[in-house]
Amino acid sequence: MKKSEIRFSIALDDQKIPEAISWSATDAGPDIHFAKAMNISIWDREQTGTMKIDLWTKDMPVDEMKRFYVDMIGSMAESIINATSDEFMGAKLRAVGRELAQHLEREEQERK
């Protein structure tokens, strides 16, 4: 059986606030990649529930954080369709993603 590892490294300041997030994966080559935020969700089979980790660096701007979550909603729409073939749920998630993307566009226009 082939195995793959994903490793995350979080650099914290004195108040334990993330300053840097880096990751590497055996299937992503030898490079270390950097991120401003991460969201990991895992289905725990024993507790039949979701366990999650949300981290972001202190230099992650609010507008990028909002875009990050909108992008994740779009990814969830595709994932639910691929995993379950449930087009209804996928369409609902896509609609929410579009609505939130439009909201972000309006916010951006108001800032200009």
> With helix as H, strand as E and coil as C, how does 43-54 read?
EECCCCEEEEEE
User: What's residue 112's pLDDT?
Assistant: 83
Classify residue 93 as exposed, middle or buried by CB count within 10 Å of its CB (0-12, 13-18, 19+): buried
- Mean pLDDT (the chain) is 95
Q: Which helix (H) or strand (E) holds 8?
A: strand 6-12
Classify residue 38 as exposed, middle or buried by CB count within 10 Å of its CB (0-12, 13-18, 19+): middle
Residues facing residue 18 across a β-bridge: 12
- pLDDT at position 6 over 90: yes
User: What's residue 29's pLDDT?
Assistant: 85
Model confidence pLDDT, tens digit, residues 25-69: 999 888 999 999 999 999 999 999 999 999 999 999 999 999 999
User: What's residue 12's pLDDT?
Assistant: 97
pTM, whole model, 2 decimals? 0.85
Spatial CA neighbour of 99 closest among 79, 80, 73: 73
